[in-house]
Chain A
Amino acid sequence: MRYLTDRKRAVGKGASGTGTEHHWWMSASAVALAFMIPTWLYIVGTTLGADQQTVIATFASPFPAILTALIVIVGMQHFAKGTEVWIEDYVHGTAGKALKIAMHSLAYVIMATALYALGKMVFIGLLLGN
């Protein structure tokens, strides 16, 4: 027999098993993204289609580089945690766990690739004397 009461096991958990932590994190990152997205869309939108030197010069400068890094770091975690919600609805058991791991992995690969590209463009920018 267990000595934990039903209430003790249930408090703060809910269907997710982790209480409100996931929802709160999604809300907080959503607010952060909402502030950053419009400006970032403008930077990306006006740089797409430019020649390589302009692209490097743009993303090597402080504001676009830092903003893009923030978008990728916060956005990819928001994406990874967001996919958990539909996976929990439609895919169960081991397949669900595997899919969650795959989605988190994809998000981190994208994040690392973008940060590498940004870092290298900043470095090239320094060499070119921007």
Chain B
Amino acid sequence: MAEVKQVERPLSPHLQIYRPQMTSFSSIMTRITGNGIIVGVLLLVWWLLAAATSPAYFDFVNAIATSWFGDLVFTLSLLGVWYHYLAGIRHLIWDTGRYMDIKTAEMLGWVCIIGSVVLTALTLIIIHL
């Protein structure tokens, strides 16, 4: 009666038969940004370690961190942080049961995308003042 049966189930997001839409796109982007940020974290922690190690090692890592490659990694990470930030707040709001209707949910997807670009630009402007 109460036996556990192992059933072959399909993988969760049925990407092959799933039409791309704002809700699914903004959801997958939350995952991609959340995981992608780790590249920026690695470079930043490496830079912190170098600062604590020696002048020669700091010069070496700092040159990478402040090169075009470092700028690219940190700017994309910043964009990823802000997207993940807004998408996370969206989930906290959804968890209260609010704004779950499709129209509002799609609108919140646009808020995450446009908002992350705006906040990234604002951050870059403020830190360069």
Q: Given that A6-B2, A46-B127, A49-B66 are contacting pairs, would A30 and B88 also be in contact in the complex, using a CB cutoff of 8 Å?
A: yes
**Shortest distance from the beta carbon of A39 to any chain B beta carbon, whole Å:** 12
Interface residue ranges of A72-105 to B (CB < 8 Å): 72, 75-76, 79, 82-83, 85-86, 89-90
Interface residue ranges of B49-97 to A (CB < 8 Å): 49, 51-53, 55, 58-59, 62, 65-66, 74, 78, 81, 85, 88-89, 91-92, 95
Chain A: interface residue total (CB-CB under 8 A) = 44
For B41, give its contact among A41, A48, A110 (CB under 8 Å).
A110
Chain A residues near B85: list those with CB within 8 A.
34, 37
Q: Given that A6-B2, A42-B127, A89-B13 are contacting pairs, would A117 and B92 also be in contact in the complex, using a CB cutoff of 8 Å?
A: no
What 3 pairs across the A-B complex have the smallest Cβ distances?
A45-B127, A120-B52, A117-B48
CA distance A52 to B13 in the complex (A): 47
CA distance A76 to B51 in the complex (A): 21
Verify if A16 is at the interface (C-beta below 8 Å from B): no
Chain A residues near B89: list those with CB within 8 A.
34
Count chain A CB atoms within 10 A of each CB in B11, B48, B74, B92 and give the residue with the most: B48
- The answer to whether A83 and B126 touch across the interface, beta carbons within 8 angstroms, is no
Verify if A44 is at the interface (C-beta below 8 Å from B): yes
Chain A residues near B107: list those with CB within 8 A.
none
CA distance A72 to B48 in the complex (A): 12
A–B pairs, 21, beta carbons within 8 Å: A4-B2, A6-B2, A30-B91, A30-B92, A31-B92, A34-B85, A34-B88, A34-B89, A42-B123, A75-B41, A79-B38, A79-B41, A86-B35, A90-B11, A106-B38, A113-B45, A113-B48, A113-B49, A116-B49, A118-B48, A120-B52
Main secondary structure of the interface of A (DSSP, over half): helix
- The answer to whether A2 and B48 touch across the interface, beta carbons within 8 angstroms, is no
Chain B residues near A46: list those with CB within 8 A.
127
- The answer to whether B81 and A41 touch across the interface, beta carbons within 8 angstroms, is yes
Verify if B17 is at the interface (C-beta below 8 Å from A): no
For A52, give its contact among B31, B58, B92, B123 (CB under 8 Å).
B58
Chain B residues near A6: list those with CB within 8 A.
2
